[in-house]
Amino acid sequence: MNIQLQKLDENRWLIPKKGNMRVPGLIFSSHELVKEVQQDQSLVQVANVATLPGIVKYSLAMPDIHWGYGFPIGGVAAFHMEEGIVSPGGVGYDINCGCRLMTTSLKADEIRPYIKELISALFKNIPAGVGSKGTLHLSQKTEAKVARQGAAWAIKNGFGQPEDLERTEDYGAMEGADPSVLSDRAIKRGLDQLGTLGSGNHFLEIEVVDAVYDHKTAKSFNLFEGQITVFIHSGSRGFGHQICDDFLKEMGKQVSLEGFQLPDRQLACAHLKSDLGRRYLAAMACAANYAWANRQILMHLTRETFITSLSISPNELGMELLYDVCHNIAKKELHKIDGHELLLCVHRKGATRSLPPEHPILPRIYRHSGQPVLIPGDMGTYSYVLAGTQGALNQSFGSCCHGAGRVLSRTKAIKMAKGRAIHRELEDKGIFVLSRGKRTLKEEMPEAYKDVSQVVEVVHKAGLAKKVARLRPLGVIKG
């Protein structure tokens, strides 16, 4: 398919409705970034998503868009609950992959001499890497509780404080989870991976706040220049991956029976009101809750490691959760469409929710500031904290970008990194990195990604979120 883009303004590009497209495509991007997008097939994927039954308004893409399975990564699409569909490819394999940012009372000047010691301790205490197993070994009965209760299960079992739930999207648990719909294989894969970081682009970073753009909002977020923060990026591990795989296979077999005419078999889907659609949503909620429990436990392990390694008290550390957001999910949400409030199923694949001040589902502590929006870079690049805006509700179903977005495949990144010592290059920049896999640092080197600052500038100028603060990495652990 030949995709023609129509420039609407400096930050928005239209794919006009054509052929079987039910709605147009809308891309948030700059002139410079959109050139990179045109190098892969992600714009074709935006157009393909626009053909799906029940889609509303637009098939959307954030400025970190790149090619993915079925839907592009950075894709957002909302569907009517009656005639619409749910697609595992619109959520992704790592269900509720997301980010958690913790603030501390520590300052960079105090901690910089101990960064290597801290990173080494975190690397020792937090399981990471492909197939990594945690110290928790769940029974099937306990795993079912995790799948229903999410982060609350972790807190009940000593991993954190009750107030953490108010600072977690959906209070750390998605309604409708039903472990009875899960396969034996999915259940088995979830038994020993809780409290593990994973591999690939998952990471834990010690960062310093090196710029504040909105001092009033930063203060409400407990952020200040020179402050040490910790960023965690992880998801539902093999548990969520298996759930996605199971339902993609089942939906793929049902496509012809449902009467779908799909431009790509990777868009396998089911009607939201069908038994298969409802079962997927129930299974997806299980994985989402597992991911929230996982990040809650990772935060607890991080806090304990800081206290032990630095020989300080919890009060001296002052580690608190700023927020936890997910970016691979499908959610039932109320949105105003052409003056009418409708219940929609919003798919966000590599996209983060961005809710404005006074939104009714925001927790009390963020009712006046808007939702904290967390945008990670990768190892050698900045991360950002933004705040949700009304512009996101008006334009993108309350959605924003989720990171920088890849420009190189993992294979190409490894070829480009041949003969280079990525860990030494990063250490020369003042970033100490430890990784389980030898290939990981090459696959995830900074050049494999778009410039996250350019991506964030697009969403800021487009009004999808506003910049609050910038974070610079000092130390990183990866799988």
**Annotated active-site positions, please?**
402
Phi (first) and psi of residue 325, to 5 degrees: -125, 150
Distances (CA, A) of 334 to 56, 120, 171, 353: 13, 45, 18, 13
* Distance of alpha carbon 367 from alpha carbon 383, whole angstroms: 24
* Distance of alpha carbon 47 from alpha carbon 16, whole angstroms: 9
Amino acid (1-letter code) at residue 284: M
Give yes or no for a contact between 344 and 333, defined as CB atoms under 8 angstroms apart: yes
Closest among 86, 37, 46 to 269, alpha carbons compared: 86
* Distance of alpha carbon 93 from alpha carbon 397, whole angstroms: 22
* Distance of alpha carbon 39 from alpha carbon 407, whole angstroms: 9
- DSSP H stretches of helix in 50-113: 108-111
Q: Establish how many alpha carbons lie within 13 A of residue 87's alpha carbon, considering only the half-sphere containing its beta carbon.
A: 34
* Distance of alpha carbon 333 from alpha carbon 339, whole angstroms: 16
DSSP for 327-361 reads: SEEEEEEEEEETTEEEEEEEEEESEEE-PPTT-TT
In this structure, how many other beta carbons lie within 10 angstroms of the beta carbon of residue 44? 18
Alpha-carbon torsion (274, 280, 285, 288), positive or negative: negative
Amino acid (1-letter code) at residue 80: H
* Distance of alpha carbon 404 from alpha carbon 201, whole angstroms: 11
Phi (first) and psi of residue 128, to 5 degrees: -145, 160
Q: Which two tokens mark 229? A: 């923060």
Amino acid (1-letter code) at residue 145: K
The residues that bridge with 432 in the sheet, in sequence order, are 475
The DSSP 8-state label assigned to residue 95 in this structure reads T
Q: 3-state class of 134 per DSSP? A: coil
Q: Which two tokens mark 36? A: 């990179």
Give yes or no for a contact between 258 and 271, defined as CB atoms under 8 angstroms apart: yes
Closest among 345, 326, 341 to 274, alpha carbons compared: 345
Full 3-state SS string of 367-433: CCCCCEEEECCCCCCCEEEEEECHHHHHHHCCEEECCCCECCCHHHHHHHCCCCCHHHHHHHCCCEE
